Amino acid sequence: MGIIRLTDMASIHLRAIRNLMLVHAKLVDEETRVGGIRVSIQNQLDSLSFAGRL
């Protein structure tokens, strides 16, 4: 175990941010399904990414 690589640490933080975004969206609108929230978040992130613009 021992050393945590930078990529592992970044992955953990990104997962935590995504989960917080899901919880926030669910608190704002309880009727929204988690799958729909996840798709919406992913679409927004894709539009922000450089690869998504190509």
What per-residue confidence (pLDDT) applies to 51? 62
For residue 32, how many other CB atoms are within 10 A of its CB?
Answer: 13
- Please state the separation of Cα 12 from the chain's center in Å: 11
What per-residue confidence (pLDDT) applies to 17? 87
Q: Measured between alpha carbons, how far is 54 from 46 in angstroms, rounded to an integer?
A: 11
What's the whole-model pTM score? 0.63
Q: What is the pLDDT of residues 1-52, one digit of tens each?
A: 567 788 888 888 888 888 898 899 989 988 988 888 889 888 888 877 766 5
* Higher-scoring residue by pLDDT: 22, 54: 22
Nearest Cα residue to 19 out of 3, 33, 38 = 38
What per-residue confidence (pLDDT) applies to 18? 85
CA distance from start to end of the chain:
38
